[in-house]
Amino acid sequence: MDKRPLSDRVTWMGAVDWHRRLFDSLIPLPEGTSYNAYLVQGDQKTALLDAVDPTMSEVLLAQLDDIAHVDYVVAHHAEQDHSGTIPLVLERYPGARVLATPKGKGMLVDLLHLDPDRIDAVADGDRVSLGDRTLEFIHAPWVHWPETMLSYLIEEKTLFTCDLFGSHFATSSLSAGVDGRIVRSAKRYYAEIMMPFRKPLERNLDRLSAYEVARIAPSHGPVWDEPELILGAYRDWVSGPAHNEAVVPFVSMHGSTRALVDRLVAALATRGVEVHPFDLTVTDLGDLAMALVDAATVVIGSPTVLGGAHPQAAYAATLANALRPKTLYASVVGSYGWAPGAAKALVAAIPALRVEVLDPVLVQGKPRAADFAAIDNLADTIAERHQQLAL
């Protein structure tokens, strides 16, 4: 992809990775991704904001072929998909200085072996003049690494946000517009990457409200020319109330746990609770993560395997614990043959959620009428809790 202008002085310099399907050997990328860098050219100096993943370094270097001089390389984040090509950029521009947070400086030295003498640590609120354009640096620790910062181009009211407000979405369009697909992709990105850091995000969203923002340029996905669209979505995802929704990830070995889950799904729907079941043998974990963003309740369905939870159910519990959604209630349903150990193991796996644990429904073998009645009672409890919260 060739470089393209965002304005007279700002150029998108990046690489669209149409074919990548896994990030960090963990996160599915059904829509591919992009690695965005931006060139800001004042009438006196030039700054390159971030550099692309090293797998796409040739793309960025080709885009820089007609750029004679770069004064600054702004490293918003030390993770390699943003900074990995910085060593090659510094080779091409031996006079360029890297700008990063103090913690970012140390991490760039450790992760990329950059010469520390070429890195200047910038303080929160520091500004650098490019002549008729000025960059202000905004420290944003734990969004989503400890060294992260943002940049604000004052004269153009453009906020460069690194991972914040990003989306793993490969597209030939520079602008997100009001495309619902990209908002959904941004929600997936938030769920998988940003949700564990809701408290720092809330603080930084409050802080950013002081800035007049006409454009948000993240490091993944297209640019938000309608910034309130993504700002409003983030405010809801981060600090809005939990919704009248229940997420039910489950796995069933011989059909008994599946029968309990089917009864629970039907019972919750009848009681006005929006319910999202996920068969963990076929589920895209990104879809599960997105569902967890808003749900007030999660119920994990698992048979007992060798005295504990089924490994796939255990993985789902570990995922939920790591992502730390705003879930308020949790429970477990499942069948066992000779030992009812799944519930204890799954509850122990989610200490970070700080939820109210509702009485589990555990069945030995195939469910009977009394077991289905217990599922109905669990559905009653969930519906009552949701009504009390006025979700």
> Based on the domain organization, do 275 and 208 belong to the same domain?
no
* Distance set, CA 21 to CA 17, 213, 289, 315 (Å): 9, 32, 17, 21
Rounded to whole angstroms, the Cα distance separating 320 from 322 reads: 5
Tens of pLDDT, residues 107-148: 999 999 999 999 999 999 999 999 999 999 999 999 999 999
Averaged pLDDT, 346-350? 94
- 193 versus 24: the higher-pLDDT residue is 193
Q: What domain range is 324 assigned to?
A: 244-389
The pLDDT of residue 23 is 86
The pLDDT of residue 256 is 97
Per-residue pLDDT band for 338 (boundaries 50, 70, 90) equals confident
Quick one: how far is CA 258 from the chain centroid? Answer: 30
> Based on the domain organization, do 165 and 298 belong to the same domain?
no
> Based on the domain organization, do 41 and 142 belong to the same domain?
yes
Question: What per-residue string of b and e applies to 161-193 under the rule 16 or more CB within 10 Å gives b?
Answer: bbbbbbbbbbbeebebeeeeebbebbbbbbbbb
The pLDDT of residue 307 is 87
Q: State pTM to two decimals.
A: 0.94
Tens of pLDDT, residues 237-295: 999 999 999 999 999 999 999 999 999 999 999 999 999 999 999 999 999 999 999 99
**How many domains, the chain?**
2
Rounded to whole angstroms, the Cα distance separating 291 from 230 reads: 18
Tokens representing 140 are 């944003």
CATH number of 79's domain = 3.60.15.10
The pLDDT of residue 344 is 92
CATH number of 331's domain = 3.40.50.360
- Report whether pLDDT(391) > 80: no
> Based on the domain organization, do 180 and 50 belong to the same domain?
yes
> Based on the domain organization, do 223 and 257 belong to the same domain?
no
Q: Which of 252, 245, 266 is nearest to 375 (CA)?
A: 266
Per-residue pLDDT band for 20 (boundaries 50, 70, 90) equals confident
Per-residue pLDDT band for 150 (boundaries 50, 70, 90) equals very high
> Based on the domain organization, do 346 and 230 belong to the same domain?
no
The pLDDT of residue 390 is 62
> Based on the domain organization, do 122 and 54 belong to the same domain?
yes
Give the mean pLDDT of the chain: 96
> Based on the domain organization, do 119 and 235 belong to the same domain?
yes
Contact by Cβ (8 Å): 169, 185: yes
> Based on the domain organization, do 221 and 266 belong to the same domain?
no
Percent pLDDT > 90 in the chain is 93
> Based on the domain organization, do 205 and 353 belong to the same domain?
no
> Based on the domain organization, do 253 and 283 belong to the same domain?
yes
> Based on the domain organization, do 222 and 364 belong to the same domain?
no
Bridge partner residues of 137 (DSSP) = 151
Of 239, 263, 283, the position where a domain reaches its end is 239
Averaged pLDDT, 32-52? 97
The pLDDT of residue 22 is 85
Q: Give the chain as a 3 state SS string.
A: CCCEECCCCEEEEEEEECCCCEECCCEECCCCEEEEEEEEECCCCEEEECCCCHHHHHHHHHHCCCCCCCCEEECCCCCHHHHCCHHHHHHHCCCCEEEECHHHHHHHHHHHCCCHHHEEECCCCCEEECCCCEEEEEECCCCCCCCCEEEEEHHHCEEEEECCCCCCCCCCCCECCCCHHHHHHHHHHHHHHHHHHHHHHHHHHHHHCCCCCCEEEECCCCEECCHHHHHHHHHHHHHCCCEEEEEEEECCCCCHHHHHHHHHHHHHHHCCCEEEEEECCCCCHHHHHHHHHHEEEEEEECCEECCEECHHHHHHHHHHHHHCCCCCEEEEEEEECCCCCHHHHHHHCCHHHCCEECCCEEEECCCCHHHHHHHHHHHHHHHHHHHHHCC
Match 């270097």 to its residue by tokens.
61
Of 214, 239, 264, the position where a domain reaches its end is 239
Q: Which of 41, 39, 33 is nearest to 15 (CA)?
A: 33
Say whether the peptide bond before residue 76 is cis (omega within 30 degrees of 0).
no
Of 239, 257, 275, the position where a domain reaches its end is 239
Percent pLDDT > 70 in the chain is 99
The pLDDT of residue 24 is 83
